[in-house]
């Protein structure tokens, strides 16, 4: 039973200006996530947990890129900027106190600029360039290719496929499940038997109608909830959020049949968005959820 992990925004494997947020916002390294999934989740899926493939679909290199190296970010030194005579005169007239205020404000602003522009940049880049089933964008193509590999492994082992997403990874997978898979014959055989979405904004995106298959027919105005992705492509969906994680959102009441749950990680506001992924308790809960949703011995989803 392969386990696939799809990360969220602001994740970069290489050391560049866009990766700075990882340190400040305590991004959990992939080896740690892989180890926890292997140790706590894989045994619930197979009598041979060592043989359970644990894969990551990495798309960070396809996310936001700063064409001028982050020149638009105010808190960073503007190297190579030209100064007019008027600018030089004004600079010479400044009081030392104003310079100190500017330095203090920049220091306060810098942590936010290390994360918010990259977060928004990755979201906007995905939405603008995701394409559609006729012309898939680079991120959906990467995810489809990864799921193809995982689906092949699942068929080879005669086992279901489990996918864990974090943050924006949930929105990417939702578009894949609801739009790309049903409309692309070469991928219609892919089925995710259990999906765990941690710290996602899937409910928020659907409220805003931002998915490729979003429709105004679903909402309070009609009293109709959004159906789950087709059972041909999804078995069960567990959506996990945290009251202290300001970037996680509910799905209950928006989607019909979603298993929606709060999970308190006990971290700080700065670390809460990633803390699920480092929690042993969370991975143990995930294993229990999978046991309750899948008939592992029969290698089939449990009937509901």
Is 194 domain-assigned?
yes
Give the pLDDT of residue 184.
Answer: 98
Q: Which range of residues forms the domain containing residue 148?
A: 3-66+118-301
Give the pLDDT of residue 108.
Answer: 67
Is 160 domain-assigned?
yes
Give the pLDDT of residue 271.
Answer: 66
SS3 sequence of the chain: CCEEEECCCCCCCCCCHHHCHHHHCCCCCHHHHHHHHHHHHHHHCCCCHHHCCEEEECCHHHCCCCCCCCCCCCCCCCCCCCCCHHHHHHHHHCCHHHHHHHHHHHHHHHHHHHHHHHHHHHHHHHHHHCEECCEECHHHHHHHHHHHHHHHHHHHHCCCCEEEEECHHHHHHHHHHHHHHHHCHHHCCCCEEEEEEECCCHHHHHHHCCCCCCCCCCECCCCECEECCCCCCEEEEEEEECCCCCCCCCCECCEECCEEEECCCCCCCCCHHHHHHHCHHHHHHHHHHHHHHEECCCCEECCC
Give the pLDDT of residue 23.
Answer: 53
Is 211 domain-assigned?
yes
Give the pLDDT of residue 111.
Answer: 65
Number of independent structural domains in the chain: 1
Is 107 domain-assigned?
no
Is 213 domain-assigned?
yes
Find the CATH number of the domain harbouring 166.
3.40.50.1820
Is 104 domain-assigned?
no
Is 84 domain-assigned?
no
Is 106 domain-assigned?
no
pLDDT tens digits in sequence order for the chain, 304 residues long: 799 999 999 888 875 555 555 455 567 899 999 999 999 999 988 888 898 999 999 999 999 988 887 788 777 776 655 545 555 545 554 585 677 777 777 776 676 666 778 889 999 999 999 999 999 999 999 999 999 999 998 888 778 899 999 999 999 999 999 999 999 999 999 999 999 999 999 999 999 999 999 999 999 999 999 999 999 999 999 999 998 888 899 999 999 999 999 998 766 665 678 889 999 999 999 999 999 988 755 555 554 4
> Taking the complete model, does pTM exceed 0.85, yes or no?
yes
């Amino acid at each position: 039973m392969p386990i696939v992990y799809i990360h969220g925004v602001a994740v970069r494997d290489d050391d560049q200006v866009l990766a700075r947020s990882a340190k400040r916002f305590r991004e959990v390294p992939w080896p740690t996530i892989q180890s926890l999934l292997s140790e706590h989740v894989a045994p619930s899926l197979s009598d041979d947990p060592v043989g359970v493939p644990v894969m990551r679909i990495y798309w960070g290199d396809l996310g936001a890129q700063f064409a001028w190296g982050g020149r638009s970010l105010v808190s960073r030194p503007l190297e190579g900027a030209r100064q007019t005579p008027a600018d030089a005169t004004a600079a010479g007239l400044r009081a030392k106190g104003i310079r100190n205020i500017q330095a203090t404000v920049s220091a306060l602003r810098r942590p936010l600029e290390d994360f918010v522009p990259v977060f928004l940049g990755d979201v906007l880049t995905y939405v603008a360039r995701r394409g559609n089933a006729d012309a898939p964008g680079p991120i959906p193509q990467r995810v489809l290719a990864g799921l193809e590999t995982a689906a092949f492994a699942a068929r080879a082992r005669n086992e279901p496929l489990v996918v864990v997403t974090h943050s924006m990874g949930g929105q990417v997978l939702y578009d894949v499940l609801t739009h790309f898979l049903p409309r692309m014959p070469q991928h219609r055989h892919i089925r995710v038997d259990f999906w765990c979405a941690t710290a996602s904004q899937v409910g928020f995106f659907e409220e805003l109608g931002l998915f490729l298959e979003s429709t105004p027919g679903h909402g309070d105005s009609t009293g109709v909830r959004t159906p789950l992705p087709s059972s041909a492509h999804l078995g069960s969906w567990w959506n996990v959020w945290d009251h202290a994680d300001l970037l996680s959102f509910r799905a209950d009441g928006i989607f019909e049949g979603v298993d929606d749950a709060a999970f308190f990680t006990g971290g700080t506001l700065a670390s809460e968005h990633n803390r699920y992924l480092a929690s042993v308790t969370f991975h143990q809960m995930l294993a229990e959820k999978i046991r309750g949703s899948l008939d592992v011995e029969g290698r089939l989803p449990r009937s509901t």
